[in-house]
Structure 1
Amino acid sequence: MKLSGWGRYPVLETELHLPRSVEALRALVLSGSGLIARGNGRAYGDSAIGSAATVDMRHFDRMLAFDTGTGQLVAEAGVLLGDIIAAFLHRGWFPLVTPGTKFVTLGGAIAADVHGKNHHKEGSFRACVDWIEVMGPDGEIRRCSRQEDAILFDHTLGGMGLTGIILRAAIRLRPVETGWIRQSTIAAPNLAAAMDAFEAAQDTTYSVAWIDCLATGAARGRSLVMLGEHAAVADLPPARAAAPFHVSPRRKLSVPLDFPAFALNRLTVAAFNAIYYRAGARKRTAKLVDWDSYFYPLDAIHGWNRIYGRKGFAQFQCVLPPDRSQAGLTALLADIAAAGSGSFLAVLKRFGAQEATFSFPMEGYTLALDFPVNAGTLALLDRLDRIALDHGGRFYLAKDSRMSAATLRASDARVADFHALREAEGLSDRFRSVQSERLGL
């Protein structure tokens, strides 16, 4: 059948399997053909599609054990973060690290070593993972952790499913008193002001910015920097404090059809960005926001990926080191504005220090932008790759759908060691994605 990632680009032919047991999964692994595990299909490109076979893990969706003293949850790889929140938030627990969608599986979060709005303070998803169980090329299941089989553990976190099939994991949740976030918004008139706001908020748990990627001149990089903290019961008005985890369901919206190609152009995106910035600048006072709206604003729009048209979209996401971030971000924004290919979903975050074997984050600033797929934007993305390389950047494989192998290797010296490990352990023949073949992983 034909499959794509969330970006709907590229669309590829693959043989899809949906095993319901460990025995069925083992038989697929031992069949000898190259395959890759797939969760809920929220990786943007081709990282969870096998050129030969793809293994859908959504039937492995049980939560197995929970320790009320430590907040440790043991669950299968196909469990969604949204399932975890539904089961445990009303009991006073929430994910320690979460990406911008709750529709990612636990296995997908581990494979991509996802990050959230709190990386500067609490790190990537690996910070909450105690152990992982992985099925290797021989069909055997190995448990790995920081203390046991640490090489497998370190390469599985961020390894994009290329070290084996993740079956189960133990993760730690954070205790919370309510389902609400105290949010404040800072209107930053340019990039320098936005970066100053991030630096001043290093002790704040959550920080993220929407950035206007088409603004030019003195307004280049103008942003709305949104800071957040988990609200305590004492922060809530009496009516909410009586039921601190109750949040009214959000109205669900839907994009029923693909937008025409002309809908997203320089004029429409520039107009949206200007209106959005002005509206956000008027909301500078702190307010209470429910957890769903704060962490997962786009999850309320079913099929929002159709906004980019039937050809889909590609995301560019890089991270630049602190001492080169301002120059690199300025160059990226200048090229985007000159091309007129603005993204209305442009996000800027501050990463903290992270030393990991193959995970994406490193200390610095990360910029993520979505572009509708066409010849012009694909050429722009190649130019953005070169700018990021010139400023010491690296790229996020969970969002990639079109980068070249040469670009990846130029950006990340760890690629050669990762490839060598896969060869030495007999992983490269058995666990392969279209992305791994394209990038030479």
Structure 2
Amino acid sequence: MPTAPPATPELDFRTPDEQFEGKAPFESWGRYPNYDANVVPLHWQSDYPAVASGMHNGVLPVGMGRSYGDVCLLRGGNLLVTTGLNRLIAFDPETGLLTAEAGITLAQILDFAVPRGFFLPVSPGTKYVTLGGAIANDIHGKNHHVAGTFGRHVTQFELIRSDGTRKLCSLTENSDFYAATIGGLGLTGLITWAQLRLKPIVSRLIDYEGIQFHGIDEFLDLTRQSQDIEYTVSWIDCASTGKNFARGVFMQGDHSTKRSELKPSPAPKLVFPFDAPGFALNHLSVSLFNTAFFHKQIHERVVALQDYEPFFYPLDKVLHWNRMYGKRGLLQFQYVIPWEHAREGTIAILKEVAKSGLASFLAVLKVFGDVPSPGMMSFPKPGITLALDFPIKPDKSFPLFERLADMTREFGGRLYPAKDAAMTAAQFQAFYPQWQQFARYRDPQLTSSFWERVTPNS
């Protein structure tokens, strides 16, 4: 496929997010760690590798900065911001195949695709990530048990290495680089464009059902009963103990077959205006929130038609919601533990969190299915995954994360690099023993603060 031509004006999206240029801080979504870097926006595919060739201290392509830790950071290095590479190239309404530059966001894809009767095959909890970032982190969604990871739906992409080499990558062409790049943390080269297979829909609506559960066993029972439901996810209360330990709300849904107007979503209007004070999110306030959230359903089981925005992206309606965690930022901990130890491991980790006195405001529990990913370094595998957000309290947060990571390792699980800012090199290398094989595909000029942290001697 040729290099992308300029887009027609009606398809030439421009990201609304602020762009930095020159020596400046570039924040991850967790806002920790805080590093300066030389920030260079890319606007045309020809900008790279010409721009990168004269740079020292390493280079890293980045998108919207929605990774939580340091996989999108490079201390003292050069960040090539790709959000200017955001043009649609081609779309086939018969097959749902969309080809676009890698800096386009999932939000922009949805604005184009939904009015034409198509939706993302896999979506994370935010639509403000780039196509290239979704590939580099091989994102997953509420439908992993039926659809697998995002990378399974990417049929091909172009990869430019820092020496100017262009590789067309697919399951049949340069398949080794295809596997290394999907979930490859942006380290194998710059993805210039990618082809994604969308799924047809006839409605913006989701046939939604919310069910209260009490404990991990009830959660697992609901999971077994929902195998034919496309989307499943649970909110879980990780602050309560005793009879309320591991209570939660199981949420499931399918795209409705009831036709509705397929129109783009309105732009969000709410903005979290300031950094919340550090004391705002504490065990008491989170416990009160959790109690209110659990009981917001008047009935144990609620059935409704729901627009896809609040179902998939409840937090996207408030811009800069990460400010609620304060200036220090937040840490996210996400593991997957395989089925053999999933139940006991999840209970043990939840008890450890409760014992720590640190409460997670956003705790998401779901299962991964057995649909394999094409990515060499992809995170999901069959079992239970739990994601927890914590405000940073240096004297407590980091020791807790080290304990939780060690427990995850003992139970045969692993952590998600896109959400990490704390795992040690020994932990990463145990979680991903294939890292040395992957390192052979890393572009010699590309690196990240995460990679240098977890492979210090590579």
What TM-score, normalized by structure 2, do the two folds share?
0.91
Q: Distance in 2 between matches of 1:351 and 1:29?
A: 38
Query: What whole-Å deviation, never above 9, does each CA across 1:190-249 have from its counterpart, x for those lacking one?
Result: 11111211122111100000000112123321110100100012xxxxxxx5x4325874
1:437 aligns to 2:445 (yes or no): no
**CA distance, structure 2, for counterparts of residue 112 and residue 183 of structure 1:** 28
C-alpha separation in 1, matches of 2:220 and 2:270: 33
Structure 1 SS opposite 2:198:
strand
1:238 is matched with which residue?
A: none
What pairs up with 1:194-273 in 2 under 5 angstroms? 194-233=219-258, 241=259, 243-246=260-263, 249=266, 252-273=269-290
Match of 1:360 among 372, 376, 379: 379
**What is the SS of the residue equivalent to 2:362?**
coil
Secondary structure of the residue aligned to 2:167 is strand
Question: How far has the Cα of 1:416 moved from its partner?
Answer: 2.4
Kindly provide the amino acid, as one letter, of the partner of residue 369 in structure 2.
G
Given that 2:114 and 2:264 are in contact with CA atoms closer than 8 Å, whether structure 1 keeps it comes out as no
Deviation at 1:2?
1.2
Aligned equivalent of 1:42: 66
Kept after mapping to 1: 8 A contact 2:49/2:162: no
- CA drift of 1:30 comes to 2.3
1:282 deviation in Å? 2.5
Q: Which amino acid aligns with 2:384?
A: Y
Mapped contact 1:224–1:281 kept (Cα < 8 A): no
Residue type matched to 1:217 in 2?
A: G
Determine which of 321, 324, 340 is the counterpart of 1:304.
321
Is this contact kept in 2: 1:4–1:46, CA < 8 A?
no
- Which consecutive residues of structure 2, in runs of 5 or more, have no partner in the other structure? 1-23
Answering whether residue 382 of structure 2 is matched by residue 371 of structure 1, we say: no
RMSD: 1.5
Distance in 1 between residues matched to 2:65 and 2:175, nearest whole Å: 28
State the Cα distance separating 1:22 from its structure 2 match.
2.4
For 2:114, the equivalent position in structure 1 comes to: 89
Does 2:51 match 1:28? Answer: yes
Counterpart-to-counterpart distance in 2, 1:294 and 1:247: 16
- Aligned-pair identity in percent equals 39
Alpha-carbon displacement from aligned partner over 1:327-346 (angstroms, at most 9, x marks no partner): 11111100110111111200
1:399-431 C-alpha deviation (Å, 9 max, x unpaired): 111211111112222222212443xxxx2x301
| Counterpart position of 2:350 | 333
Partner Cα distance (1:137, 1:248) in 2: 38
| Secondary structure of 1:398 counterpart | helix
Shift in Å, 1:251: 6.7
C-alpha distance 323-280 of structure 1, shift in aligned 2 (>3 A): farther
Instruction: Tell me, in whole angstroms, the C-alpha distance in 1 between the residues paired with 2:100 and 2:300.
Output: 40
Superposition pairs of residues 99-110 of structure 1, within 5 angstroms: 99-110=124-135
Aligned structure 1 segments of 4 or more residues deviating by more than 6 angstroms: none
Q: 1:4, 1:45 within 8 Å by CA — same for their partners in 2?
A: no
Pair 1:280–1:249, CA change in 2 (3 A): farther
SS of the residue aligned with 1:297?
A: coil
Separation of aligned partners in 2, 1:251 and 1:417 = 43
1:159 to 180, 184, 201: 184
The question of whether the paired residues in 2 share the 8 Å contact of 1:191 and 1:223 is answered with no
Structure 1 residue identity aligned to 2:110: I
Note the 1:9-24 alignment, pairs <5 A: 9-24=32-47
Which one has the bigger helix percentage? 1
Q: CA deviation at 1:321?
A: 0.1
Q: How does 1:184-195 map to 2 (within 5 A)?
A: 184-195=209-220
Identify the match of residue 122 of structure 1 among 125, 147, 157. 147
Q: Deviations over 1:168-207 (max 9, x none)?
A: 0000000001011001011111111112111221111000
Decide which of 406, 412, 437 is 2:432's aligned counterpart. 412
